[in-house]
Amino acid sequence: MGRILVVDDDKVIRDVLKKVLESAKYEVDLADGGKKAIELIKNTEYDVVLLDIIMEDMDGIEVLRKAKKISPLTTVIMMTAYSSPDYVLHALTLGATDFIEKPFEPDHMINLVKENVERVKRWKTSLGLL
């Protein structure tokens, strides 16, 4: 169905998202920070990365930049409890495809991930990669 990476330094958020997304039949990997996320992205092909903006080891914007260089077809959904319009615009110009504010409804997250997985499949199909 799709492979998802959840990047958040909050274990509760990671665990809840894993449970919610696996119930929707997605394969889910977890990273507790930016460094681990970059390592996983280098070695695994993800359709979607759910990325927290504020983390202790590496800023979400820095992770976004690196992730898009490594895997340009992977969509990145930024997650935050504290968003400003300037920050959202900056993330979108760097390649984020969506933004979601915490807390979020599980159904909304599933729908957002589904839309992004479908987007990646369309891109890969049009490029002859599927």
What tens digit of pLDDT does each residue of 69-98 get? 999 999 999 998 876 778 778 888 899 999
Alpha-carbon Rg for the chain, nearest whole angstrom, is 13
Q: Nearest 5°: CA angle at 16, between 116 and 62?
A: 55
Reading the block at residue 105, the tokens are: 């409804």
Reading the block at residue 106, the tokens are: 């599980």
Helix (H, G, I), strand (E, B) or coil at 52: strand
Q: Please report which confidence band the pLDDT of residue 107 belongs to, taking 50, 70 and 90 as the band edges.
A: very high
More confident residue, 49 or 87: 49
Q: Please report which confidence band the pLDDT of residue 67 belongs to, taking 50, 70 and 90 as the band edges.
A: very high
Look up the pTM and report it: 0.93
Q: What is the pLDDT of residue 64?
A: 96
Tell me which amino acid residue 47 is.
Answer: D
Does the pLDDT value for residue 59 go beyond 90?
Answer: no
Q: What is the pLDDT of residue 30?
A: 99
Domain membership of residue 73 as a residue range: 3-126
What tens digit of pLDDT does each residue of 5-15 get? 999 999 999 99
Reading the block at residue 61, the tokens are: 């914007």
Question: Where in 16-106 does DSSP place strands (E)?
Answer: 27-31, 48-52, 75-80, 98-101
Does the pLDDT value for residue 68 go beyond 80?
Answer: yes
CATH number at residue 115: 3.40.50.2300
Instruction: Give me the number of domains the chain comprises.
Output: 1
Does the pLDDT value for residue 53 go beyond 80?
Answer: yes
